[in-house]
Amino acid sequence: MSEEHSSERQSGFCSATCSDRASLRKEIGKKEVKTSDVFVTCNLPKRFEHPHWFNGYGCQLSKQHPFYRTSASEYGWFPPGLHSVPTSYYPKSPSFSNYLAAAGMYRNYSLNTKMDPPFI
């Protein structure tokens, strides 16, 4: 058996699938899978079409000791994957926000008839 195809793992390679240089080069050269390659999608923005673009999640940059991690931090620990991003996207219309920005917030101009409480 040649040195390239040995069954033992060599240091510097990512996992069992990349145990030799040929497998590593093949893994690096793979095209990134888009959501529309796997699922039927409708009106997806690019961030959902390419879930591998997401970064900044706990598993990617956290140096926090696992002992001090809370159970609530597990929700945002991993970035969205191919199977967890939505397959359809229908954004809300900004018409209410646009109207509110132009008209301003509601203000109550009614007469105050309640007496002030005594300061004790």
Structure-token pair, residue 51: 């879930």
86: domain range? Answer: 34-92
Centroid of chain to Cα 107:
38
Structure-token pair, residue 90: 């229908």
87 part of a folded domain: yes
Q: Tell me how far apart the alpha carbons of residues 118 and 75 are, in angstroms, rounded to a whole number.
A: 49
pTM above 0.85, yes or no: no
- 105-117 per-position pLDDT tens digit: 888 888 888 888 8
Mean pLDDT score of the chain: 76
Number of domains into which the chain is organized: 1
Q: Which of 44, 20, 25 is nearest to 34 (CA)?
A: 44
Q: Give residue for tokens 């001090």.
A: 68
97 part of a folded domain: no
Task: Let me know: does 32 contact 51? Beta carbons within 8 Å.
Answer: no
